[in-house]
């Protein structure tokens, strides 16, 4: 049998992941070719600064300042988009598809916000768009969701899918620091950006959750419907109380199928200390998926970094190369379900979801205050699992109180909090964190 020519790759971006991709492809070239059935070579790449010193070996790779030169190169078979952000990435990906090129991307924002458009363009041309590296770095969660769970009715999934948030919450737990102190440490170590908003406010995790939920439940991508909360309001007190109560605080992305619709929510949560996800710490990521046949399955590993993310990029390249000669109709669908079977199932408003709650409040140290608080909860049908009034300094005018509730609809909890905060003896605002047993 004649030897097939190498598959030629064009890289858009030579940053951390781009450099890691070149390194992995070169170092493991023979192994990758044996698995893919053909040699994969990086023929060209684009970078904003061409003469920047780089640690990666770029011999034999043509460099372009203009990424369109890569996309329009007629000799390129697969374009790998590693620029990030929405534009120009979106335009370049659509142009690559229009030029008949398959695409591999690590861009979670692009897929979460514009994946429906991109996948439709790819399907119309019989092309593939692979995006394993867009979620959880080196963890092959996309492949597991698309293929490993193909025989399962997925009931729920929950993930620690932002390493910055997980590092901060882990350090607050282990070192007892405040959010601002630990954030500064994360920035010094390179785990958080100078402007950390994208991470600590939950946007990055929400992009990833939307992708996972679409794969799990066969729904179109609809990022605007994800409820998003970050971790800025989690305090040293909350972390300490969580430990006393047998929990750890984790920033979770949760998608769950209910009879009325699908929950899509990103927020901090109390997780039982013995739960597998509670023990995914530092910058690591973890995703737990529960299928009706497989039961709960935990995937954990490095959620970012040059080579872990490059591992997923290269895995996508191997998948695309294997499928180059296959009938497009027989390939694994982009979002796990055949495109004509995706359903616009209802997405539940956060007020209609049900969880237990941790509530921390400060009240005046005077008789009757706790009775007023518990009466409000009782009036709204909220059952209390535990309540603690904690010691404070003798001269402190306010004392901390912690309440754990049983499962309740969020709409009722919102009403209770509004009424409690209106009490003269309560210092507003309260802090509340959902409790997730992950069972």
Active site (catalytic) residues: 208
Name the residue with tokens 């030579």.
14
Where residue 434 falls (left for φ over 0; alpha for ψ -120 to 50; beta otherwise) is: beta
CB-based contacts of 299, cutoff 8 Å, min separation 6: 136, 139, 140, 141, 144, 286, 287, 288, 289
- d(C-alpha 433, C-alpha 269), whole Å: 6
Phi, psi at 365, each rounded to 5° = -85, 75
Strand partners, 427: 362
Q: Which two tokens stand for residue 212?
A: 């996972």
| Contact between 187 and 194 (Cβ < 8 Å) | yes
- d(C-alpha 216, C-alpha 433), whole Å: 26
CB-based burial, 66-98: b 16+ in 10 Å, e otherwise = ebeebbebeebbbbbbbbbeeeebbebbbbbbe
Within its chain, how far is the Cα of 70 from the centroid?
Answer: 29
| Contact between 115 and 89 (Cβ < 8 Å) | no
Taken in order 432, 437, 438, 439, the sign of the CA dihedral is negative
């Amino acid at each position: 049998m004649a030897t097939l020519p190498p598959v030629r790759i064009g890289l858009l971006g030579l940053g951390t992941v781009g450099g890691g991709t070149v390194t992995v492809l070169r170092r493991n070239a023979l192994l990758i070719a044996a698995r893919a059935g053909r040699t994969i070579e990086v023929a060209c790449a684009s970078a904003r600064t061409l003469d920047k010193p780089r640690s990666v070996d770029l011999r034999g790779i043509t460099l372009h300042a203009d990424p369109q030169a890569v996309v329009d190169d007629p000799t390129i078979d697969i374009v790998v988009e590693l620029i990030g952000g929405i534009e120009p990435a979106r335009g370049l990906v659509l142009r690559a598809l229009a030029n008949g090129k398959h695409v591999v991307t690590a861009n979670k924002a692009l897929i979460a916000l514009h994946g429906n458009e991109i996948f439709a363009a790819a399907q119309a041309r019989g092309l593939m768009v692979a995006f394993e590296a867009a979620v959880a770095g080196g963890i092959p969660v996309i492949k597991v969701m698309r293929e490993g769970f193909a025989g399962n009715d997925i009931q729920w999934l929950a993930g620690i899918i932002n390493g910055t948030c997980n590092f901060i919450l882990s350090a607050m737990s282990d070192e007892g620091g405040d959010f601002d102190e630990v954030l500064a440490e994360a920035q010094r170590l390179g785990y958080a950006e100078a402007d950390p908003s994208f991470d600590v406010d939950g946007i990055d995790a929400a992009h990833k959750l939307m992708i996972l939920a679409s794969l799990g439940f066969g729904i179109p991508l609809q990022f605007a419907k994800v409820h998003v909360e970050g971790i800025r309001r989690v305090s040293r007190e909350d972390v300490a109380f969580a430990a006393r109560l047998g929990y750890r605080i984790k920033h979770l992305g949760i998608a769950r199928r209910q009879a009325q619709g699908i929950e899509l929510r990103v927020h901090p949560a109390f997780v039982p200390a013995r739960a597998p996800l509670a023990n995914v710490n530092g910058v690591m990521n973890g995703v737990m998926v529960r299928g009706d046949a497989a039961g709960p399955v935990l995937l954990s590993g490095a959620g970012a970094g040059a080579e872990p993310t490059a591992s997923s990029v290269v895995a996508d390249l191997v998948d695309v190369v294997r499928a180059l000669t296959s009938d497009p109709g027989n390939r694994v669908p982009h979002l796990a379900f055949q495109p004509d079977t995706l359903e616009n199932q209802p997405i539940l408003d956060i007020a209609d979801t049900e969880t237990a709650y941790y509530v921390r409040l400060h009240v005046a140290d005077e008789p009757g205050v706790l009775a007023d608080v518990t009466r409000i909860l009782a009036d709204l049908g909220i059952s209390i699992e535990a309540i603690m009034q904690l010691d404070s300094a003798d001269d402190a005018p306010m004392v901390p109180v912690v309440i754990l509730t049983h499962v309740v609809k969020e709409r009722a909890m919102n009403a209770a909090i509004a009424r409690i905060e209106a009490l003269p003896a309560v210092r507003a605002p309260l802090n509340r964190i959902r409790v997730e047993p992950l069972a």
